[in-house]
């Protein structure tokens, strides 16, 4: 994870760097730092433990002049969060300075070799090994900084996105990446270059961006066109793309937290997600990737969904949708397990990767492995131009706009919406869904945003329910069928931001263990909407009631049975069973949000987590 920003040009660098770090803070926020060449040619480095605001407080009364600099916000891997471990890191002589996102896997060996050559280390980070290695290469070979970075990277095993500056060549910013994201904003006269881990810090300055590929080095030099080199030193062509970001998505828009804004954004962003794809008047769904790759998809004997976290929960819903509408067997795997498994991949398999960020290291590695074994890879991704989007053979963007809150909300409903459309489109092509079910689902999906809007009106009620639960140490979430993955997602949301232990279970499975935990202190959230297994859920509820568990239930509007049985209930509009997750997850998102706020916690940047997990 970690966020990187770099700038070289004609403007003052500090405001660009610090504002850029604020936009990347979702990537890590345990310490931050920046390095600037001052107007008088001096290299100034400032660091702080904590957030970007802490760095800004440290730097404000210092010399922050200069038109070139690099900056970093950290999510610790090697070495605890501290000022000394914060980036940028310098070599012993102070000549080379760099920021790094990723993990140098052979850092211990390299460190040992450098120590034997007389190099000393100040921090516990793997990054310091890299900067010393570049400095050693410069000294030993007498080459320039570009070549020294290239030669050093040839010795490195692991993942990196780096931005390097050399005191002896202050007109050059050198960047490189492997398995960690990096994008460079360029302008027509090459007078300035903007470097960042994603497009958000760059978008306000230029739309022209170059996504660096794995094992590429980029050289940013004022007045010269961007140069790209392979690790072997071969010059490569830069592919400039127009990246349009909706900048309003990067602000809280009057909401106290990004997470709340993103929950409330859902009706609108799901309309965006469906635009041009769900043609309700003509009663059809069209996904260009499904059309273009219909042969391979129609041939598919099995689909394996690989993903992590919330995206994995969306995958569990995708399985039910695809099996129901397309009659194709689907497996859902944690990407981190799948990548190291001896899984058998047949030529008729399709591997579907689901990822909000498009940068999750395990998901990326899983699809690389699947590609090597000959599978066709279909990506369902939010971040346009991200690594997973580019590595997939085909795919569908969810188009819900940048998600900033660490706990995923609108990306989840966006993923589920795309999965519904995928299953409808493919099922229709295959003839495995009846025309009436196809049309009914399309009609209902079209009005789901309005129903989410209506569900959001329960916000105040949910806030008052949440206030009862700040005391809780455990929570159980129970659901069945399409609502079972929603139970998992509700539990994950609560854990992530309120630090309350929560487990999601298939409701009937409760009696095989979790029931032992139920007493009058145990809050249990039931997903009890009017669908296929409603009566069964009522029986499961009775089992909790007889043990004095405290029930909060999500029910369908007008439900008269559950209301009388439970402590609290939250109503959602009626919908089809297959679309139930899109409504029942909304109260759970709000519940976890309000519990965390009531506990006074940092909702958007919960402890220990990061939004984009680019390490395995
Ligand atoms: C992190 C985030 C989660 C996310 C997961 C997978 O853990 O905090 O919100 O679900 O990564 O990320 P992806 O970007 O691949 O969906």
Q: Is 308 in the pocket of ligand 1 (CB under 6 A)?
A: yes
Q: Is 355 in the pocket of ligand 1 (CB under 6 A)?
A: yes
CA atoms within 13 A on the CB side of 399: 15
Ligand 1: nearest atom to the Cα of 383: 14
Tokens representing 133?
């290695």
pLDDT digits (tens, 9 = 90+) for 22-50: 999 888 888 999 999 998 889 999 999 99
pLDDT given for residue 453 in this prediction: 97
Is the pLDDT score of 245 beyond 90?
no
Is the pLDDT score of 616 beyond 80?
no
Helix, strand, coil in percent for the chain, rounding step 5 = 40, 25, 35
pLDDT given for residue 517 in this prediction: 86
**How far is C-alpha 130 from the chain's CA centre?**
26
Indicate which residue's Cα is closest to atom 5 of ligand 1.
Answer: 309
CA of 161 to the centre of ligand 1 (A): 19
Q: Within a 10 A sphere around the Cβ of 515, how many other Cβ atoms?
A: 16
Phi, psi at residue 379, to the nearest 5°? Answer: -100, 140
Q: For residue 193, what are the CA distances in angstroms to 169, 208, 226, 491, 578?
A: 16, 10, 8, 43, 48
Is the pLDDT score of 52 beyond 80?
yes
Query: DSSP letter at 508?
Result: G
- Averaged over 547-573, what is the pLDDT? 94
- Averaged over 549-566, what is the pLDDT? 93
Instruction: Look at 130-139, 214-223, 400-409 and tell me which has the smallest mean pLDDT.
Output: 400-409
Pick from 593, 582, 499, 28: which is nearest to 259 by CA? 593
Q: Is 614 in the pocket of ligand 1 (CB under 6 A)?
A: no
CA of 395 to the centre of ligand 1 (A): 18
**How much of the chain, in percent, has pLDDT values that exceed 90?**
79
Q: What is the best residue among 408, 603, 612 to mutate for testing ligand 1's pocket, by most ligand atoms within 8 Å of CB?
A: 408
Buried-exposed string 464-492: b where 16+ CB fall within 10 A, e elsewhere: ebbeebbebeebbbbbbbbbbbbbbbbbb
Is the pLDDT score of 615 beyond 80?
no
Buried-exposed string 581-611: b where 16+ CB fall within 10 A, e elsewhere: bbbbbbbbbbbbbbbbbebeeebbbbeebbb
- Mean model confidence pLDDT for the chain: 93
Query: DSSP letter at 179?
Result: B
The two beta strands, 68-74 and 31-37, are antiparallel
Buried-exposed string 158-181: b where 16+ CB fall within 10 A, e elsewhere: bbbbbbbbbbeeeebbbbbbbbbb
Active-site residues, by number, are 2, 611
pLDDT given for residue 251 in this prediction: 76
pLDDT given for residue 220 in this prediction: 98
Cα–Cα distance measured from residue 369 to residue 574, given in angstroms and rounded to the nearest whole number: 42
Is the pLDDT score of 611 beyond 80?
no
Instruction: Grade residue 570 by pLDDT with cuts at 50, 70 and 90.
Output: very high
Where is pLDDT greater, at 497 or 78? 497
Tokens representing 516?
């032992």
Where is pLDDT greater, at 485 or 344? 485
Q: Within a 10 A sphere around the Cβ of 295, how many other Cβ atoms?
A: 8
Where is pLDDT greater, at 181 or 114? 114
Q: Is 365 in the pocket of ligand 1 (CB under 6 A)?
A: no
Cα–Cα distance measured from residue 209 to residue 243, given in angstroms and rounded to the nearest whole number: 7
- Averaged over 541-550, what is the pLDDT? 89
Q: Is 360 in the pocket of ligand 1 (CB under 6 A)?
A: yes
Is the pLDDT score of 402 beyond 90?
no
Q: Is 363 in the pocket of ligand 1 (CB under 6 A)?
A: yes
Write down the pTM of the prediction: 0.81
Instruction: Grade residue 181 by pLDDT with cuts at 50, 70 and 90.
Output: confident
CA of 411 to the centre of ligand 1 (A): 10
Q: What is the best residue among 357, 404, 607, 610 to mutate for testing ligand 1's pocket, by most ligand atoms within 8 Å of CB?
A: 357
- Say whether the peptide bond before residue 578 is cis (omega within 30 degrees of 0): no
Ligand 1: nearest atom to the Cα of 609: 8
Indicate which residue's Cα is closest to atom 2 of ligand 1.
Answer: 611
């Amino acid at each position: 994870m970690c966020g990187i920003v770099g700038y070289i040009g004609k403007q003052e660098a500090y405001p660009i760097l610090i504002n850029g770090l604020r936009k990347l803070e979702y990537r890590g926020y345990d310490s931050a730092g920046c390095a600037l060449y001052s107007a008088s040619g001096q290299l100034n480095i400032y660091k702080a433990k904590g957030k970007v605001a802490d760095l800004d407080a440290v730097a404000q009364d210092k010399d922050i002049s200069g038109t070139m600099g690099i900056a970093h916000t950290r999510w610790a891997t090697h070495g605890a969060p501290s000022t000394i471990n914060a980036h940028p890191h310098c070599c012993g002589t102070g000549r080379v300075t760099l920021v790094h996102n990723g993990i140098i896997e052979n850092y211990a060996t390299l460190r040992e070799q450098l120590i034997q050559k007389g190099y000393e280390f100040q921090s516990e980070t793997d990054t310091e090994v890299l900067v010393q290695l570049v400095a050693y290469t410069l000294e030993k070979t007498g080459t320039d900084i570009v070549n020294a970075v290239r030669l050093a990277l040839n010795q490195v095993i692991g993942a990196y996105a780096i931005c390097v500056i050399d005191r002896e060549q202050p007109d050059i910013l050198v960047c490189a990446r492997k398995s960690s994201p990096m994008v460079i904003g360029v302008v027509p006269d090459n007078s300035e270059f903007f470097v960042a881990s994603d497009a958000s810090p760059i978008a306000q300055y230029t739309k022209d961006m170059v996504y660096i590929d794995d094992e590429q080095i980029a050289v940013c030099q004022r007045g010269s066109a961007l140069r790209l080199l392979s690790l072997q030193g071969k010059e490569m062509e830069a592919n400039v793309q127009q990246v349009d970001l909706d900048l309003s998505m990067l602000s809280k828009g009057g909401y106290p937290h990004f997470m709340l804004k993103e929950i409330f954004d859902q009706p609108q962003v799901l309309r965006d997600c469906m635009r041009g794809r769900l043609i309700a008047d003509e009663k059809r769904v069209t996904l260009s990737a499904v059309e273009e790759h219909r042969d391979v998809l129609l041939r598919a004997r099995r689909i394996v969904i690989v993903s992590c976290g919330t995206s994995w929960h969306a995958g569990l819903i995708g399985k039910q949708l695809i099996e129901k509408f397309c009659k194709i067997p689907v497996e859902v795997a944690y990407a981190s397990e799948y990548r190291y498994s001896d899984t058998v991949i047949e030529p008729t398999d399709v591997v579907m990767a689901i990822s909000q960020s498009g940068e999750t290291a395990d998901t990326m590695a899983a699809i690389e492995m699947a590609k090597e074994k000959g599978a066709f890879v279909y990506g369902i991704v939010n971040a346009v131009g991200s690594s997973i989007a580019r590595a997939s053979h085909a795919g569908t963007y969810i188009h819900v706009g940048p998600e900033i809150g660490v706990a995923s909300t609108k990306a989840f409903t966006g993923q589920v919406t795309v999965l519904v459309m995928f299953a409808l489109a493919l099922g229709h092509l295959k003839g495995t869904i009846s025309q009436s079910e196809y049309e009914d689902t399309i009609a209902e999906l079209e009005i789901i945003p309005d129903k989410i809007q209506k569900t959001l009106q329960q916000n105040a009620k949910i806030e008052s329910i949440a206030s009862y639960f700040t005391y809780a140490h455990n929570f159980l979430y129970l659901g069945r069928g399409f609502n079972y993955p929603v139970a998992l997602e509700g539990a994950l949301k609560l854990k992530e931001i309120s630090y309350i232990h929560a487990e999601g279970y298939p409701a009937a499975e409760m009696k095989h263990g979790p029931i032992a935990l139920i007493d009058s202190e145990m809050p249990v959230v039931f997903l009890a909407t009017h669908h296929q297994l409603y009566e069964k859920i009522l029986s499961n509820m009775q089992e909790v009631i007889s043990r004095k568990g405290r029930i909060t239930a999500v029910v369908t509007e007008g439900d008269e049975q559950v209301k009388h049985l439970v402590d609290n209930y939250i109503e959602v509009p009626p919908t089809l069973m297959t679309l139930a997750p899109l409504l029942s997850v909304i109260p759970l998102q709000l519940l976890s949000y309000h519990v965390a706020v009531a506990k006074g916690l940092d909702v958007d940047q919960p402890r220990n987590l990061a939004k984009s997990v680019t390490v395995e």
